[in-house]
Amino acid sequence: MDNFTHSLFGATLARTRLAHAGRGTTATLILASNAPDIDILASAGGGLKYLEWHRGMTHGPLGLFGLAILSAAIVRACLKMWDRHLEDVMPGRRDAAEALAPFPVLVAVACVGIAFHVLMDLPTSYGIRFFSPFTWRWYAVDWMPIIDIYLWIALGSGLYIGRLSQEARRRNATIVLTFVAAVYGVRAFMHREAIDLAPQLFGQTLPAPCDAPAGVEPIVDSWPKAPPSPPADPAHRCLVEIAALPTFMSPFDWRIVAQTSNSYEIHDVNVLDQRLRNSNGELHSSQRLSLRYPNIWTPEVMRAASTPGGRVFLGFSRFPAARTARDSSGAAVVRFTDVRFVGGPALNDQPIRRVQPFTLTVRFDATGNVVSEKLGQ
């Protein structure tokens, strides 16, 4: 989730029974609720360095305890400095102030804030590397967008209304946290509905699965995955997997991504739009139009995947679409695009004419040497 949501959630937690821990609780919760995103400092080394470290160790078990100690230490040090300043300008003021929470208590409170940060990031299609640095695999549950305006409204309203009294603070915090849980529940249910709608959405254009179904589909997806093996018959396509990704505005609007052995098929759908179905429950042919991203793993693509930039990008990308272009001299350009981030809300109505920040371009000269690696297109 975005840092504004994390801050609002941390402030809401500070109005629960955690507030009884003592002075410094609110500041610790707000700071700790944002602490895992300190990995943004890696962007100083460039976009690829940021992707290499983003949502890694700071979102793992070592980050939880390390950042909790750091957050508690910062808050406690700042409050002690403030108390000394007040004692200098207003003697006796510090004795009248609420007792500062003990350091171990602030560490425990910070652990709560960081844990909720990680748990709120996991249900986004962006995902987290939950067990880093022990393993750098990504994990995601496709329920929530990075920014959810309904959480903004609920958390912000609860904090504003609850400022009137201590009783209102505790009551509104309980109501808001219940509403937040309900938002996640609705998103989870609608995600399942979107997945179930996918076969009707694509109709006969959806190929048969490449492998036999593995039983119940896991709730948590993980990657990176092995690149698809080229089919024996290039004209034959098979279905690798289907995902439903959340959108910004509505819990009922989803982006369906169908990965086949040589492309990605992308379609936007509203699970409540009854106009998508006729009397037989079938979609109209005009509503089956989708965006196709080719994904052909040529020898040049395999070489690009082994470059330093290629390894970082493919370690991050959940749905990497690979394309190759060659010129008459033998030079080649390989582009990897993470199709989670292509297009916009009007994807089915207009072509994509925008910068794609989650695209890696690798250029080779005629002898096969890497000329450049650049993130963004």
Percent of the chain with pLDDT over 70: 86
Contacts of 271 (CB under 8 A, 6+ apart): 190, 193, 194, 197, 252, 254
**What does the pLDDT average to over 335-350?**
70
Q: Among 34-43, 96-105, 190-199, 366-375, which is the least confidently predicted range?
A: 96-105
pLDDT value of position 287: 54
pLDDT for the residue numbered 206: 83
**Confidence (pTM):** 0.89
Query: How many alpha carbons lie under 13 Å from residue 22 in its C-beta half-sphere?
Result: 15
Q: Tokens representing 376?
A: 């963004």
Q: How does residue 198 score in pLDDT terms, banded at 50, 70 and 90?
A: confident
Comparing CA positions, the residue from 297, 298, 226, 293 lying closest to residue 264 is 293
What's the whole-number mean pLDDT along residues 173-185? 94
The answer to whether the CB of 129 falls within 8 A of the CB of 138 is: yes
Cβ-contact 98, 23 below 8 angstroms: yes
How many Cβ atoms from other residues are within 10 Å of residue 83's Cβ? Answer: 16
Contact by Cβ (8 Å): 290, 202: yes
pLDDT of res. 376: 84
Omega of the bond prior to 224 within 30 degrees of 0, cis?
yes
